[in-house]
Amino acid sequence: MQDTTNRLIVIAHRGASGLRPEHTLAAYDLAIEQGADFIEPDLVPTKDGVLIARHENALATVRLDDDETIVLDGQGRPVVVEATTNVAELPQFRDRLTIKRVDGVTIGGWFSEDFTLAEIKQLRARERIPAVRPHNTRFDDQFEIPTLAEVVALVQAWEKKGRVVGLYPETKHPTYFAQEGRFRDGTPINLSLGRLLVDTLVATGFTDPARVFIQSFEFANLLELRQVIMPAAGVAFPLVQLYGDTTDTQPLTSFSRPYDMHYNALQEADLRRIYGRLVDLVPGGITPTTGYRDLLSPAVIEFLAATYATGIGPWKNTIVPRLPLDGTRGEGPASATRLTGAVAPFLSLAIAAGLLVHPYTLRAEEQFLTTYPNGIPQSGLGEVVQLLSLGVHGFFTDHPAIGVLGRDLFLRLNRVTLSGVEEHLDRSAWVSCLSARGEGTSPAPAVPELPDKTQRV
């Protein structure tokens, strides 16, 4: 695999999750087949300390009322709000339904840390957003929940066939699992996701730093990885600091603040021991209300680059903000949002500091797209070209085939010269183009109509 710092990478977000249920071997396998450079497993632990690939530790969530009590339907069953597995339908696990507080949010559901790996293997994966991706529901209940070791084995099997791919794992809720969280019986979970991750990569022999990025929305666990866990294991993987919402469009939730800073400040922990001189670089210091917006100054960006991070992973909407025309936060039907034309200053700060920038998440469905400031609808390919044109070094996408095509299109476009245009463009069309500029008498070639928005790629 080439040096990832010198090329533009396509990261399959939870696999080819636009075409298969996310975080399944089938989704990862298809992503590799479609040309992704890296596949991204989000990682949560089982009760017996095995990392599995799930977007959240909640395997299915249920509705809670205002009193944080589980809402039942007319037949006395909990009302399922979202599910990435079939756990809610399995009678042997009915007693695992509980209510927990994860990163400050009260959630009702079934949680990975309350199941052994053997029990997890009784579950089957389901499409997380069936209303958006009904075509994926035909795969419901077909695939197991994979372990990280099984994901590594899949990548290694492709390697034997000559296809070299990297892993881009994310540690989910590391503060919750290491410090705050409890099993269903009330005992502390006390699991370090960073240690489990590094131990698994070492045990499976997947230790090439050119084929691994480790990412997290929290800061403390990445610092621990860089300063303690990786040196002890004799490895040095590049680390990527994820950023959530940096605007004022989000309430103060775990998407707008690093939960580790919130928790550690509330616990009156020794912040300087945990974060070092970062404490002095955050305006007002690290407090329970420190948000990602407070962590974008040149001093903080330079600290990341100098101390532990190889890159940052920002939400794409914070790089190129969208104007919500209908009162939304900037995601909905493309006709309801429009790019403002602005580009966030932190992008140039990060690039100048030598950090890689890998924004998330590019999705091809209509409700995730937008329009350009001039009113032209943006396609999935157009979004890829736009972000690469701004200088990002790669991106997360649910549709890796579109990502690869967009990346290749961007590279080809920027290799074309005027002489190349003259050589390859049909001569009559070229003359007509000149005519339209007043250099001849032939009519200008017709401008092709934009395809219908439902057909955009």
pLDDT confidence bin for 424, thresholds 50/70/90: low
Residues pairing with 72 in the sheet: 78
Q: Looking at residues 72-83, what average pLDDT do you find? A: 96
Tens-place pLDDT, residues 174-198: 999 999 999 999 999 999 999 999 9
pLDDT confidence bin for 325, thresholds 50/70/90: confident
**Is the pLDDT assigned to residue 346 strictly greater than 80?**
yes
pLDDT confidence bin for 425, thresholds 50/70/90: low
Does residue 41 sit in helix, strand or coil? coil
**Is the pLDDT assigned to residue 37 strictly greater than 50?**
yes
- pLDDT of res. 333: 55
- pLDDT of res. 431: 47
Q: Looking at residues 313-319, what average pLDDT do you find? A: 97
Give the C-alpha separation, 457 to 452, whole Å: 11
- pLDDT of res. 432: 54
As a whole number, the mean pLDDT across the chain is: 90
Other CB atoms within 10 A of residue 95 CB? 9
- pLDDT of res. 29: 98
Tens-place pLDDT, residues 92-115: 999 999 999 999 999 999 999 999
Q: Looking at residues 376-400, what average pLDDT do you find? A: 97
- pLDDT of res. 422: 57
State the residue for tokens 């610092």: 223
**Is the pLDDT assigned to residue 345 strictly greater than 90?**
yes
Tens-place pLDDT, residues 251-286: 666 799 999 999 999 999 999 999 999 999 999 999
Q: How many helices (H) and strands (E) in the chain?
A: 17, 17
Number of alpha carbons in the 13 Å side-chain half-sphere of residue 406: 30
**Is the pLDDT assigned to residue 448 strictly greater than 50?**
no
Single-letter amino acid code for the residue at 46: T
CATH topology of domain 4-423: TIM Barrel (3.20.20)
Single-letter amino acid code for the residue at 178: A
pLDDT confidence bin for 249, thresholds 50/70/90: low
What residue segments make up the domains of the chain, in order of their start?
Answer: 4-423
- pLDDT of res. 420: 58
pLDDT confidence bin for 321, thresholds 50/70/90: very high
- pLDDT of res. 280: 97
Q: Looking at residues 430-445, what average pLDDT do you find? A: 44
